Amino acid sequence: MGAALIELKNITKRYGSNLILDDFSLTVNENEFITLLGPSGCGKTTTLRIIGGFEKPDEGQVFFEGVDITQTPPNKRNLNTVFQKYALFPHMNIEENIAFGLKISGKSKDYIRDKIDYALKLVNLDGYGKRSVSSLSGGQQQRIAIARAIVNEPKLLLLDEPLGALDLKLRQEMQYELIRLKNELGITFIYVTHDQEEALTMSDKVVVMNQGYIQQMGTPENIYNEPENAFVAAFIGDSNIIPGTMVKDRLVNILGADFACVDSGFGENKPVDVVIRPEDVIFKKPGEGKIDGEVSHIIFKGVHYEMEAQAGGFEWLIQGTKPYEVGEKISIDVDPFNIQIMNKPESEDEEAIKFDE
């Protein structure tokens, strides 16, 4: 990745008595695809709007390539924003929509013509220029909104839940399109979504947010496989989060049974939370695993079966390709490398933890 493009330093933002961002800092490097991920109200869209200049922080600064742009209006920033509602002009055809920003900036007709042709080819809509906006599907309209943004050659493209209004198939297609565009154009992308699959599929870096704080930041693989706390583990994919006791380094007691693990540094006989992904739970014959139990529920999900099993007084969620019958006796085991240990929060308020890189 390149040098720092955007830096948010100690940003605080309130709406009335509601604290949305609390001393929030973030660095985005050139040519990164970074996703702000979290539930509604976590502060991700507010962060995007502050970067775009649509909101001003109450405290803190926004830097673009090292220059303070905190008070710079949106139209003076070298970035563009694509919203969930595409904001295309219905009285203009596609060419006119794409050319709108270029005409305002006083570009020549030849320059604009070349840019329109280039942008339409880039979003796989070559030859659509004279069509009306109303003749396009949702996915095509979104591509035009992206084309209108990229013809201005921004260094940064902000995307605020741009695929939320599309159906599943179109959404998946557009995910691949955005990855392709990012690789071809070399533009930095900051993407806002509450969809975990979108974040894991497209991002170089995922920033998981909750209650105005960064809960965890890292690669999709790191976020999924090594969640820092119970919030991240529960929000990113399905998880079994089980209370346990760290007996000693590399040994944890889960529901009365000792499991080997690879974590250390948690102390001895300390209460912890244990994260085990459903796909990492191993079914064995009764008596051959660590905890015996019984299958209580099964659903076919297409690529796998999703099952629940009662074992050790806990309801386990399990995913696998082999179906088991409801009522079937089983025993549960887990590979040591698939057991993730986390410190147990000392209070309910600790769920919103501020993490430093």
- Strands (E) in 30-155, as ranges, are 33-37, 59-64, 67-68, 79-83
Question: Which residue in this structure is represented by tokens 């380094």?
Answer: 249
Determine the Cα–Cα distance for residues 210 and 224; give it in Å rounded to an integer. Answer: 16
pLDDT of residue 347: 52
Q: Is 265 helix (H, G, I), strand (E, B) or coil?
A: coil
| Predicted model pTM | 0.83
**pLDDT value of position 356:** 37
Q: What share of the chain is helix, strand, coil (3-state, %, to 5)?
A: 30, 35, 35
**Contact at 8 Å (CB) between 324 and 330?**
yes
Q: Which two tokens stand for residue 88?
A: 């295309």
* Contacts for 330 with CB less than 8 Å, ≥ 6 apart: 283, 284, 285, 286, 289, 292, 293, 294, 295, 309, 311, 324
Q: Check residue 122 and give its pLDDT.
A: 82
Strand order in the sheet with 291-300: 281-284, 329-334, 291-300, 305-311, 314-320
CATH 2.40.50.140 residue ranges of the chain are 242-347
What are the tokens at 163? 């695929």
Q: Delimit the CATH 3.40.50.300 region(s) of the chain.
A: 4-225
Residue 84's pLDDT is what?
Answer: 66
- Which residue, 68, 66, 62, 24, is CA-closest to 44? 24
The full DSSP string for 65-97 is TTEE-TT--GGGSSEEEEESS----TTSBHHHH
Which H or E element spans position 260? strand 257-260
**One pLDDT digit (tens) per residue for the chain, 357 residues:** 568 999 999 999 999 999 999 999 999 999 999 999 999 999 999 999 999 999 999 999 999 999 999 999 998 998 988 876 667 888 899 999 999 888 888 889 999 999 899 889 888 888 899 999 888 888 888 888 888 888 888 899 999 888 876 777 778 888 888 888 888 888 899 999 998 989 999 999 999 999 999 999 999 999 999 998 889 998 998 899 999 999 999 999 999 999 999 999 999 999 999 999 999 999 999 999 999 999 999 999 998 999 999 999 999 999 999 999 999 999 999 999 999 999 887 655 544 443 333
- Distance CA(9)–CA(15), nearest Å, equals 19
Q: What is the DSSP letter of 336?
A: G
**Secondary structure (3-state) at 289:** coil
CATH code for the domain defined by 242-347: 2.40.50.140
Give the per-residue pLDDT at 355: 38
Measure CA 151 to chain center: 26
Q: How far apart are CA 300 and CA 323, in angstroms?
A: 8
- Rounded CA separation 253/203 (Å): 35
Number of helices (H), then strands (E), in the chain: 8, 20
What are the start-end ranges of the E strands in 16-173?
18-29, 33-37, 59-64, 67-68, 79-83, 156-160
Instruction: Please identify, in words, the CATH class of the domain defined by 4-225.
Output: alpha beta
Q: How far is residue 285's CA from residue 301's CA, in Å, rounded to a whole number? A: 24
